Structure 1
């Protein structure tokens, strides 16, 4: 592990992931890796449950990590990988919280339309991949490592948690090992910190909102497709079962 991103999600972590990979510090672990391989969710289920983690196994094949869920375990990771450089992505806390409430914190919204929408999305998401059925509980455990039992939907409280996280990282990580970074700063501070030359490739300003929407819509569409075809698959299984039973009965008849 060469680079550890300790910034909260929705602080430009998707852009940072791509930037690190362009600069040769990839593959980079990000929340999206769980959607690509839902079996990885089991790692974080164990982590939030307090299990002793084999971080080398969790991050096998990766050279860096950004975003949640790993950022919730930043203290453990910077201790496990003392030579890794640490990047804290930041943005204005209240704008950050509003962005989260439109996406990853939507499950904490209390208005009725949002609660209905979240409930309706769960069914096709589970149909798309049943290994994701625990996604919300696991990530609630991830978020609670920062927020405790406080109201995640409360902007004042969330902004306070954000600021406290920034302070704690700055107080814990030696200054020569830490980059406090806004992705709009682009390549110069990032390349200087990582000790590489500035690339002429455009900085990857990834749209987190669009990427989030695309990922969710993809799983919902996949799940709805499975829901629509499930009766036909069930009928096929039933017919195959009956056919196999009939063949077995026929072979047993003298």
Structure 2
């Protein structure tokens, strides 16, 4: 582990991930983490994780950003004390809150807003992969920004603001200054490359996930870093729905047969 991106969700996590990939780093963002490091997240939730688990499971990863990792960035740093820390921030707290609410607005176009109905959907319709993601998302998003998920019916703004302030202040207070870059992705290549001792690429700094566009791309299976999540989830959903319809047809046919026998 060379770089820990300690900025909360909606602080340019997708842009910094793409920038680090351009610089040659092996970056694990949300879906790479879910796909490759699921053992680690389960151990954390079971309270069985050790420093050696972090070191073993993450040994071939150069950089991590967004959740689940952001919720345990400090533990990752303890396991890899030579890593550099990038604290991504927005231009203002208000801008960050607006971005979170925009994420909620876009995500709500595709999910069931009622918590109970959504839980039923994940339990009985969409299959085990989406349920696993939902459970990890609930735990680690709550740990990082103080709400269970960035969609659904309500997002208490006071919780979000408090968590944003607390998180940024804490990172600044404990990280050695020589290892910490406080960074706004709007600042582009220069501060990032200077901090990482890298040459500035001969291309524009990537601007990714503007207006929560990644959510739409994931739904349409156009997000190239989803590790096949969407296609597997759809396959499992089709199997479950198809099985339910087949069983229902058999019972209906049997019922009709019994009536007219």
Same fold (TM over 0.5): yes
Partner of 2:129: 131
Are residues 1:231 and 2:242 paired?
A: yes
**1:62-141 paired onto structure 2 within 5 Å:** 62-91=61-90, 92-103=92-103, 114-115=113-114, 119=118, 122-123=121-122, 127=126, 130-141=128-139
Query: Deviation at 1:197?
Result: 1.5
Partner of 1:213: 216
Partner of 2:49: 52
Q: Matches of 2:233 and 2:148 in 1, distance apart?
A: 33
Secondary structure of the corresponding residue to residue 180 of structure 1: strand
Partner of 1:31: 30
Secondary structure of the corresponding residue to residue 86 of structure 1: strand
Larger CA Rg, structure 1 vs 2: 1
Unmatched tracts of structure 1, length 5 or more: 236-254
Secondary structure of the corresponding residue to residue 99 of structure 1: helix
Q: Matches of 1:165 and 1:180 in 2, distance apart?
A: 13
**TM-score w.r.t. structure 1 length?**
0.74
Unmatched tracts of structure 2, length 5 or more: 222-228, 247-261
Query: Deviation at 1:132?
Result: 2.8
Q: Is the 8 A contact 1:126 1:223 kept in 2?
A: no
Q: Is the 8 A contact 1:124 1:223 kept in 2?
A: no
Secondary structure of the corresponding residue to residue 4 of structure 2: strand
Moved more, 144-153 or 156-165: 144-153
Q: Is the 8 A contact 2:2 2:84 kept in 1?
A: yes
Moved more, 186-195 or 132-141: 132-141
Secondary structure of the corresponding residue to residue 114 of structure 1: coil
Q: Matches of 1:147 and 1:58 in 2, distance apart?
A: 25
Q: Is the 8 A contact 1:124 1:221 kept in 2?
A: no
Indicate how the Cα distance of structure 1 residues 84 and 154 shifts in structure 2: closer, same or farther if over 3 A, else same: same
Q: Matches of 2:148 and 2:69 in 1, distance apart?
A: 21
Deviations 1:133-181 (A, max 9, x none): 1322322221333456899821122112101111110100011100000
**TM-score w.r.t. structure 2 length?**
0.73
Q: How many residues align?
A: 228
